[in-house]
Structure 1
């Protein structure tokens, strides 16, 4: 028997490095961007990529590269904000339902199952349709859709750890439930949650871009990747660069999240 261990730690390093670079570009966008992302210049509208406009211009003559740089602020900051709100809701619910169980666990998990039964985009469109289009309503819709995934994941981690011998020992020793959750369970579930969250960041960015593309999220002239894709649909045949570069930005960020969430794998091969 040969055991071949392949550690993919290098992918995490690459992913974290790329994410840091993206965040830095977003933070330094006012100094790095070559043009004002909101400045309209109809003389240069629909210009192809050139030395003055490296990514070309859109239908209003705005610099696409500058809008993508500023879009990092809007898209990634919104994704982190959604992630924070989602964890604030799902973490205590997942801990309590996985640890205490009983009727409350059964009731909450039926709500989770009902939420997960519908496709994310369909449920989000329904929520935003009720609340109305807008940036804040988009955040609310994504949080209300994504929280169920985190609750189920956190609950499964707590259920697994709750059956360990050291948890039984902690209970016999007289530790309170809060103390067990705080010192014996929480430290072991945070690393998997971080990995799960890093992978989900890519999904959240796709949902943000999707809602903005449909006109239900960020609204023009906000420099947001989904809004840029929405603006490009009418000009794709004559100015494909309007859609290509924002699409590549979204794909690059999703790939970065995939690299960060990549875990070491152990492959067992028997000969």
Structure 2
């Protein structure tokens, strides 16, 4: 397998550096956060950005900067957890449906087509509406929505790999199907899948923020970005900073994922041609 030449460009460097900075800020939240994100101080309501409160305060006098910093922990950590669970569910299904083209394959593909035919946010809202609002139900809903994209991606990789000559040689050598998938197919699909999942975190964070904004995800007083936007809607005219800064935080995280994604999509396409 010929290795694809790797070259750095401005968008990739900016995206990686921005993502690293955001993650580091979240990890160092207890040490760099200027105030307690949950502390209520009604005497400091709607304070505009200042030296004491760099991003101002909200309707309960809580430091917006501190809540955004701790919100990184919630959004990124739970997005990573959702990605891992989706990965565990989708990997065996994608491998089996791509390797064995039997009736089960048709069943899963029709199920995937039906899932992907509905916009993610609409289907997620419908599932959370049935399960009830809450962070756990929101995570379950996102997993039930995002698994189809992972399975389709894995299946497309496996179908491409199974056409290669070395897979035919492995079959003729007497290797079992399980051994072929474990030794010859899984290692090739693992790297693109990890990249796909890591870059999918931007979409997951956006879904989480959207659901929390609608009141279906994180509930008060959790310092989650979407929940902060929901709290800010009633006070936007008198305290616009309550909405601006959480919105910018979401924008920067999604932008970092997108900048990296654009570059790695090209690399993955080149890799698949040379498998």
TM-score normalised by length of structure 1? 0.92
8 Å CA contact 2:87, 2:197 repeated in 1: no
Deviations 1:195-230 (A, max 9, x none): 322321110000000000000000011000000000
Query: Whole-Å Cα distance in 1 between the matches of residues 13 and 265 of structure 2?
Result: 12
Q: How far off is 1:194 after superposition?
A: 2.3
Change (3 A) 1:13 1:191: farther
CA contact (8 A) 1:198 1:258 kept: no
Inter-partner Cα distance in structure 2 for 1:137 and 1:229? 20
Task: Report the counterpart of residue 45 of structure 1 in structure 2.
Answer: 45
Partner of 1:55: 55
Higher mean C-alpha deviation, range 130-139 or range 251-260: 251-260
For residues 8 and 117 of structure 2, the distance between their equivalents in structure 1, rounded to whole angstroms, comes to 34
Instruction: Please tell me whether residue 230 in structure 1 is matched to residue 235 in structure 2.
Output: no
Q: Provide the C-alpha distance between the structure 2 equivalents of 1:129 and 1:263, rounded to a whole number of angstroms.
A: 35
Where do 1:31-110 residues align within 5 Å? 31-110=31-110
1:172 corresponds to which residue?
A: 172
The answer to whether the Cα contact below 8 Å between 2:68 and 2:225 also exists between their aligned partners in 1 is yes
User: Please, which moves more after superposition, 66-75 or 196-205?
Assistant: 196-205
Query: Is residue 119 from structure 1 mapped to residue 124 from structure 2 by the alignment?
Result: no
Supply the distance in 1 between the matched residues of 2:138 and 2:92 (Cα, whole angstroms).
23
Change (3 A) 1:132 1:93: same
Distance 2:151 2:87 in 1: 9
2:153 aligned residue: 153
- Aligned position for 1:256: 256
Find the aligned partners of 1:264 and 1:80 in 2 and give their Cα distance: 20
How far residue 10 of structure 1 moved from its aligned partner, in angstroms, is 5.5
Which residue is equivalent to 1:29? 29
Residue 74 (structure 1) shift: 0.6
Once residues 84 and 31 of structure 1 are traced to their aligned partners in structure 2, the CA distance between those partners, rounded to angstroms, is 28
Asked if structure 2 preserves the Cα contact closer than 8 Å seen for 1:9 and 1:264, the reply is no
Structure 1 position 17, deviation (Å): 3.2
TM-score normalised by length of structure 2 = 0.91
Residue 196 to residue 264, structure 1, CA distance change in 2 (3 Å): closer
Q: Which residue of 1 aligns with 2:199?
A: 199
5+ long unaligned stretches in structure 2: 268-275
Secondary structure at the aligned position of 2:245 is classed as helix
Q: Which secondary structure does the structure 2 equivalent of 1:67 belong to?
A: helix
For residues 197 and 208 of structure 2, what CA distance do their matches in structure 1 show?
16
Cα RMSD (Å): 1.7
Could you say if the C-alpha distance between residues 178 and 159 of structure 1 is closer, same or farther in structure 2, counting changes exceeding 3 Å?
same
After the TM superposition, which of the residue ranges 118-127 and 201-210 deviates more from structure 2? Answer: 118-127
Report runs of 4+ in structure 1 exceeding 6 Å deviation: none
Matched ranges for 1:185-196 at <5 A: 185-196=185-196
- Cα deviation for residue 108 of structure 1 reads 0.9
Deviations 1:21-52 (A, max 9, x none): 22221122111100000111111111110111
Counterpart of 1:269 in structure 2 is: none
SS at match of 2:161: helix
Report the Cα offset of residue 188 of structure 1.
1.2
Task: Give distance in 1, aligned partners of 2:107 and 2:166.
Answer: 28
